[in-house]
């Protein structure tokens, strides 16, 4: 059967998607350098120009993939397709990062991040640390929330303790986390920010920490 040339529009899709990175280089060595290469037919059928059958390979790996080996086991089509998907996923994540042109304006200090201490509760205490993380692909700000709480600080044998830890998304000045619980209803933690102040509301917290321990209350930034 005569070889069918790969349509130019299909070639463009493969080259743009791969950014001329070889998926075998990436799959074997996490090599993301731009390479000289060719578009390979993964099933070795030069007339099959379906997009799923094509991958950009560097010259060395293109020749190696097309060669017939009598002794060693060559790369399989399944391996190369897996490497290709890994590469395309990595490229998609990397090229989704926003790029700034011109003068860079530094943002003001983050009004949500910081160390907070609970201000109510005589025999209990709680501290929460809120750390900013890179925004998600949806563009919404994400934060790591960690904390520790005590109940019964005036007890002879020491207080009961609890720890908090999750990653949440900030929406309308709130971070809501829905976790697991020993009861039927999920354990919910709601952080609400108001002009630099923090309040935390919990539902179904029984069993999530030590006895009587929770993070509810009003907090101030230190």
User: In this predicted model, what pLDDT tens digit does every residue of 18-36 receive, in sequence order?
Assistant: 999 999 999 999 999 999 9
**pLDDT value, residue 104:** 53
pLDDT at residue 76 in the model: 92
Share of the chain above pLDDT 70, in %: 87
Read off the pLDDT band of 55 (50, 70, 90).
Answer: very high
Rounded-to-integer distance, Cα 4 and Cα 95, Å: 32
Higher model confidence: residue 154 or residue 164? 164
Are 81 and 20 in contact, with CB atoms under 8 Å apart? no
Tell me the CB-side half-sphere exposure of residue 143, using CA atoms within 13 A. Answer: 22
Which has the higher per-residue pLDDT, 7 or 93?
A: 7
* pLDDT (tens digit per residue) in 112-160: 999 999 998 666 889 999 999 887 777 788 999 999 999 887 777 778 8
| pLDDT of the residue at 10 | 94
Tell me what pLDDT residue 99 has: 63
């Amino acid at each position: 059967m005569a070889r069918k040339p790969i349509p130019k529009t299909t070639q463009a899709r493969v080259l743009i998607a791969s950014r001329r990175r070889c998926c075998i280089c990436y799959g074997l060595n996490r090599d993301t350098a731009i390479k000289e290469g060719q578009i390979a037919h993964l099933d070795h059928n030069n007339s099959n120009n379906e997009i799923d059958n094509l991958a950009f390979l560097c010259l060395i790996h293109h020749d190696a993939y097309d060669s017939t080996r009598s002794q060693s086991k060559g790369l399989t089509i399944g391996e190369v397709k897996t490497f290709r998907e890994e590469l395309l996923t990595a490229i998609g994540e990397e090229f989704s990062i926003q790029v700034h042109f011109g003068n860079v304006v530094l943002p003001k200090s983050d009004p949500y991040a910081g160390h907070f201490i609970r201000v109510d509760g005589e025999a209990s205490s709680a501290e929460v640390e809120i750390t900013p993380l890179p925004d998600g692909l949806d563009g919404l700000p994400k934060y790591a929330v960690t904390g520790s709480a005590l109940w019964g600080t005036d007890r002879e044998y020491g207080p009961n303790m609890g720890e908090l830890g999750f990653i949440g998304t900030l929406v309308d000045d709130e971070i809501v986390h829905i976790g697991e619980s020993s009861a039927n209803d999920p354990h919910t933690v709601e952080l609400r920010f108001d002009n630099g102040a923090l309040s935390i509301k919990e539902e179904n917290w029984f069993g999530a920490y030590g006895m009587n321990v929770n993070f509810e209350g009003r907090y101030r930034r230190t």
